[in-house]
Chains A and B, each alone.
Chain A
């Protein structure tokens, strides 16, 4: 999958257990809104709430990722 201008870019590490290209929308966001780079660093799927913990594989739980524990959206 060609995921944007220039050479293919891959996510760091092995999210979901394998190498994964940076998704096209994430690349668009990084290009146009570079100030969100830190926020998007751990986000593989930008359609998935960014502060949600995906777990080791792909948890569907509504739990905060590390660093977002104080987010009131996760308050129970």
Chain B
């Protein structure tokens, strides 16, 4: 797990002292050679050798990898979200969805965002509050969607009666539904980070195509 900042130390001073914190993004690609020449390989080795790896936990994906500059891209931002890209790669390699994993392990599947909250936690415990906050964030990211019969979502298949598959699958037009498919996305280690921009966009795009309707509010 990469941190965003390297705790830079120098071997010929006191190695216990962090001299400065240097963004990783300033030390790779074309900047790597200059960084090595300026600071010396021994200092970099010492700094990286002594640094603790990032904790494998939610909302701890390095931000520089979520907004990585890619000047050769022909896009408006010319940057890429590696977290989102990793999710995309997983789908294309056929990694089962989170709920499908649970089903195959014989575990109960989750059907609501609130199922992410551990019910054994006390109402006033900080851990529960943190989980509730995450669920709130998930709702904001995934949100809701209004069914639109006029929107055809695929040309690759038809319904059994040869009608086009529309948005969504026979539910009443105009009904509000939760976007709750792709639970693997919700739980992926790389997903629950501070900046949702491109990740959220990708999820919305995919949710449009792979949606399962699990609840409604209208």
Which residues of A pack against B, CB within 8 Å? 29, 32-33, 35-36, 39, 43, 46, 49-52, 62, 67-68, 70-73
Let me know if A33 and B16 touch, CB within 8 A.
no
Let me know if B45 and A36 touch, CB within 8 A.
yes
Interface string of B158-186 (1 = CB under 8 A from A): 00000000000000000000000000000
Enumerate B33-81 residues with CB–CB distance to A below 8 Å. Answer: 41-42, 45-46, 49-53
Kindly provide the distance from the CB of B43 to the nearest chain A CB, expressed in whole angstroms. Answer: 9
Q: Knowing A71-B16, A72-B18 touch, does A33 contact B52 (C-beta < 8 A)? A: no
Nearest 5 CB-CB pairs, A to B?
A71-B16, A50-B49, A33-B42, A70-B16, A50-B50
Let me know if A62 and B52 touch, CB within 8 A.
yes
Mostly, the A contact residues are: loop
Q: Give bound CA distance, A68 to B9, whole Å.
A: 13
CB within 8 Å: A-B pair count: 49
Let me know if A35 and B12 touch, CB within 8 A.
yes
Contacts of B41 in A (CB 8 A): 32-33
Let me know if B46 and A36 touch, CB within 8 A.
yes
Q: Give bound CA distance, A67 to B16, whole Å.
A: 9
Contacts of B52 in A (CB 8 A): 49, 52, 62, 73
Which residues of B pack against A, CB within 8 Å? 7, 11-12, 14-18, 41-42, 45-46, 49-53
Contacts A46-B49, A70-B16 aside, 5 further interface pairs with beta carbons under 8 A come to A32-B41, A36-B42, A36-B45, A67-B16, A72-B18
| Chain A residue nearest in CB terms to B18 | A72
Kindly provide the distance from the CB of B138 to the nearest chain A CB, expressed in whole angstroms. Answer: 30
Q: Give bound CA distance, A70 to B18, whole Å.
A: 11
Kindly provide the distance from the CB of A40 to the nearest chain B CB, expressed in whole angstroms. Answer: 8
Kindly provide the distance from the CB of A11 to the nearest chain B CB, expressed in whole angstroms. Answer: 17
Kindly provide the distance from the CB of A21 to the nearest chain B CB, expressed in whole angstroms. Answer: 19
| Chain A residue nearest in CB terms to B51 | A49
Contacts of A50 in B (CB 8 A): 46, 49-50
